[in-house]
Amino acid sequence: MKIRAVLYDFDGTLADSTELIMRCYRHTMSTHLGAAPPDEEWLSGFGMTLETQIARFARSAAETEAMLDTYRVYQREHHDRMLVPFPGTLETVEALQRRGARLAIVTSKHRTGALRGMDLCGIVDHFPVVVTPEDVARPKPDPEPVLFALEKLGVRAEEAVFVGDSPHDMAAGKAAGTKVAAALWGPFPRAALERERPDWMLTAPGDVLGLVG
């Protein structure tokens, strides 16, 4: 069936924010735990909400809140300087729009940060639908955010592809019934994404255009 809609993850798929996120993680863990666990432990949770990620490391509810505050303060200080779009992102989104594709972002980033990041990437006006954790009861990897985006776009799951960089994105899209495409330019190794059996493996942002005829 023809693909009529493209749903995107944001961090690691449209925006090159991995180093920003990892610096926030290391700073937060060092501040509260004395040292940061290996980067791989945080990377394994990419695609989850920040609250879920932090709670994996905090030793109490109070420490979770304190860690969240530390993370967010550090992120605000460095966000605008370190977050940039991946090369070709804006051009691809514009081309998809010209082809009549319906576009949405499905992200674990909270709305304020997502919109700010989209603005920095020059794409905020190209996405009429942006689904964030504030919109759903169960964020990714649950399919609820993807299903909500499909409802807002007015398309069926089989008419859409969800493009993301993490196994959690793949799981959410598959559970919702969409096609899924793995963004290999993100932080996850190819093998980790291949295990999720995506419909397509994309090596550059512009490859998305090959999915929408």
Does 9 participate in catalysis according to the annotation? Answer: yes
- Annotated catalytic residue within 9, 16, 165, 169: 9
* pTM of the model as a whole: 0.92
Q: Look at phi and psi of residue 178 and say left if phi exceeds 0, alpha if psi is from -120 to 50, else beta.
A: beta
Domain residue ranges of the chain, discontinuous segments joined by +:
5-16+84-211, 18-82
CATH number of 5-16+84-211: 3.40.50.1000
Centroid of chain to Cα 212: 21
Residue 40's pLDDT is 92
Contacts of 62 (CB under 8 A, 6+ apart): none
Q: In the CATH scheme, what is the code of domain 18-82?
A: 1.10.150
pLDDT tens, per residue, the chain with 213 residues: 799 999 999 999 999 999 999 999 999 999 999 999 999 999 988 888 999 999 999 999 999 999 999 999 999 999 999 999 999 999 999 999 999 999 999 999 999 999 999 999 999 999 999 999 999 999 999 999 999 999 999 999 999 999 999 999 999 999 999 999 999 999 999 999 999 999 999 999 999 999 997
